[in-house]
């Protein structure tokens, strides 16, 4: 497999982009992914494409670009090459402390071979340095032991809603491996799926995995379920574990859509998840199922504080009210999502409601749900992480 070096360019002058692309036109290992002409575009582009090499042109004011370079280096898995204008004396080197090995300098204009070797050097640093942010990504698992309650609708819209916030990188992982429909709901035509990632084996890292993600216009990247259900069995829990490890290093949020059962893949994710969005509807069979699901989560050793009960289609009440539901289940309802006719319409069109109809009641409640998870994650950041291996034997 050829490893592509993802390169992001940044300079106020469009000629910089033209010159670099021209210089790299015959190089098959380096792929220019994006070009930023404004300072406030750079961080979001880097986050979207990380791990990547960022080549900053010589056209910026020194202080703001040096501050941004330091900030990006601290927050993302990126190496940075700062181009220094050869015809002007320059203090950029001084502006960035020397103890940042992931920042390199290139005198501009430059020869093609110097440019390529600087990019390759930067890429080597990227491969050798563990992600500066460590396991920064938060895993949000959308789960229910019942099918048809709205897990996939919520997972896709929540991922898109998170990605619309400036500078937030989001990956959506479809773990409903046999019948996953994240791809359909986002109208994506994947070239690769989780099956390709699972075939890589031990060497799976984020650079390789990046090639298997499918991009949605909203900025969400998705690792989709295999196109044939029989391939699902070939994806091992170990692969799922490796995938999660890799994604956590590069994305702020990993939203996981799941099948309606406690299978091995789901247990692997539950072991790592930061929050569980447990989806129920207000009918007796679902609530009976959710009660069993909550008992199973307890047996597995999942802390109750990470489980948030979300009632979808909350207005379709069938003789029950929320207080009765909370009492019967022994858990508070964290959020309610209304039935909205825009949802089935958006599912058929393959456009998430939060994009298509941002003012629809469903979209508003999804944005509130997003805020809830953001604030829960901020709170849990302040607490020491707990080690809580899932007790698989509890349901064996
Ligand atoms: N809040 C809602 N309002 C209207 N229809 C909904 C709502 N949530 C889900 N649906 C409908 O229910 C169907 C099943 O949802 P889906 O997300 O596929 O369920 P699951 O993933 O739990 O099997 C969707 O196709 C959608 O049309
Ligand atoms: Mg589903």
pLDDT digits (tens, 9 = 90+) for 94-119: 544 444 445 778 888 889 999 998 89
pLDDT at 201: 84
Sorted by sequence, the CB contacts under 8 Å of residue 365 that are 6+ apart come out as: 335, 336, 337, 338
174 and 274 part of one domain? yes
In this structure, are 174 and 246 located in the same domain? yes
Among the ranges given (46-60, 74-88, 241-255), the one the predictor scored with the smallest mean pLDDT: 74-88
CA angle (112, 118, 124) in 5-degree steps: 135
Amino acid 97: pLDDT:
46
Q: How many residues does the chain have?
A: 396
Is 272 a member of any domain? yes
Q: What CATH number should be reported for the domain holding residue 339?
A: 3.40.50.300
Mean pLDDT score of the chain: 87
pLDDT band at 135 (very low <50, low <70, confident <90, very high): low
- Distance from residue 150's CA to the centre of ligand 2 (Å): 7
Which residue's CA is minimally distant from atom 17 of ligand 1?
150
Torsion 285-290-293-299 (CA) sign = negative
Cβ neighbors of 256 (< 8 A, separation 6 or more) are: 139, 140, 141, 142, 155, 172, 173, 175, 269, 273
**Residue 371's pLDDT is what?**
93
Whether the predicted pLDDT of 88 surpasses 70: no
pLDDT at 247: 93
Of 128, 147, 173, the one marking the end of a domain is 128
The rounded Å distance from CA 231 to ligand 1 centre is: 25
pLDDT recorded at residue 270: 94
* Pocket-testing residue among 142, 146, 148, ligand 1, by greatest number of atoms within 8 A of Cβ: 148
Question: Domain check: are 62 and 211 in the same one?
Answer: no
Q: Report which ligand 1 atom has the smallest distance to the Cα of 341.
A: 4
Residue 163 lies in a domain: yes
Q: By alpha-carbon position, which residue is closest to atom 20 of ligand 1?
A: 148
Q: Residue range 61-71: average pLDDT? A: 85
Is residue 385 a part of any domain in this protein? yes
In this predicted structure, the answer to whether residue 350 has a pLDDT above a threshold of 60 is yes
CB atoms within 10 A of CB 130: 9
- pLDDT of residue 2 exceeding 50, the answer is no
- What is d(CA 8, CA 31) in angstroms, rounded to the nearest whole number? 9
Atom number in ligand 1 closest to CA 149: 22
Domain membership of residue 133 (yes or no) is: no
Domain boundary at 128, 146, 175, which?
128
Ligand 1 nearest atom to the CA of residue 147, by list position: 23
Expressed as residue numbers, the domain containing 335 is 138-395
Low-confidence winner among 52-56, 103-107, 184-188, 326-330 (lowest mean pLDDT): 103-107
What is the token pair recorded at 344?
A: 């089935």
Pocket of ligand 1 (CB under 6 A): 144, 147-153, 312-313, 337, 339-340, 343-344, 347, 362
Going from the Cα of 248 to the center of ligand 1, the distance in angstroms, rounded, reads 28
pTM, 2 dp:
0.71
- 226 and 340 co-located in one domain: yes
User: What is the rounded distance in angstroms from the CA atom of residue 248 to the CA atom of residue 133?
Assistant: 10
Please name the residue whose Cα sits nearest to atom 8 of ligand 1.
150
Residue 103's contacts (CB-CB under 8 Å, 6 or more residues apart) are 69, 70, 73, 79, 80, 81, 82, 96
> Quick one: 41 and 166 in the same domain?
no
- Examine the pLDDT at 303 and tell me if it is beyond 60: yes
- Domains in the chain, number: 2
> Is residue 222 domain-shared with residue 337, that is, in the same domain?
yes
Closest CA to 220 of 167, 159, 176: 159
């Amino acid at each position: 497999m050829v490893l592509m070096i993802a390169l992001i360019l940044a300079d106020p002058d469009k000629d910089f982009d033209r010159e670099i692309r021209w210089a790299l036109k015959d190089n098959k290992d380096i792929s220019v992914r994006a070009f930023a002409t404004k300072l406030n575009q750079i961080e979001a582009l880097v986050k979207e494409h990380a791990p990547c090499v960022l080549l900053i042109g010589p056209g910026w004011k020194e202080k703001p670009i040096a501050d941004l370079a330091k900030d990006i280096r601290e927050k993302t898995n990126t190496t940075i090459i700062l181009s220094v204008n050869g015809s002007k004396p320059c203090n950029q080197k001084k502006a960035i402390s020397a103890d940042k090995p992931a920042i390199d300098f290139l005198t501009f204009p430059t020869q093609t071979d110097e440019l390529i070797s600087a990019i390759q050097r930067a890429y080597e640093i990227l491969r050798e340095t563990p992600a500066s942010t460590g396991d920064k990504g938060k895993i949000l698992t959308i789960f229910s032991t019942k099918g048809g309650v709205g897990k996939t609708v919520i997972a896709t819209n929540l991922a898109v809603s998170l990605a619309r916030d400036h500078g937030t990188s989001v990956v959506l992982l479809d773990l409903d491996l046999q019948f996953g429909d994240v791809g359909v709901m986002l109208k994506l035509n994947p070239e690769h799926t989780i099956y390709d990632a699972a075939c890589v084996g031990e060497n799976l890292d984020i650079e390789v995995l990046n090639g298997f993600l499918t991009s949605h216009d909203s900025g969400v990247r998705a690792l989709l379920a295999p196109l044939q259900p029989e391939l699902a069995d070939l994806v091992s829990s170990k692969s799922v574990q490796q995938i999660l490890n890799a994604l956590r290093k590069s994305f702020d949020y990993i939203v996981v859509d799941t099948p309606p059962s406690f299978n091995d893949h789901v247990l692997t994710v539950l072991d790592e998840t930061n929050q569980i969005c447990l989806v129920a509807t207000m009918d007796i069979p679902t609530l009976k199922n959710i009660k069993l699901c909550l008992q199973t989560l307890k047996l597995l050793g999942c802390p109750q504080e990470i489980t948030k009960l979300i009632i979808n289609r909350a207005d379709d009440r069938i003789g029950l009210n929320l207080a009765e539901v909370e009492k019967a289940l022994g858990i508070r309802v964290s959020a309610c999502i209304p039935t909205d006719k825009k949802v089935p319409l958006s599912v058929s069109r393959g456009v998430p409601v939060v994009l298509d109809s941002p003012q629809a009641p469903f979209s508003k409640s999804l944005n509130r749900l997003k805020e809830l998870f953001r604030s829960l994650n901020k709170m849990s950041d302040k607490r020491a992480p707990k080690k809580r291996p899932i007790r698989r034997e509890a349901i064996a």
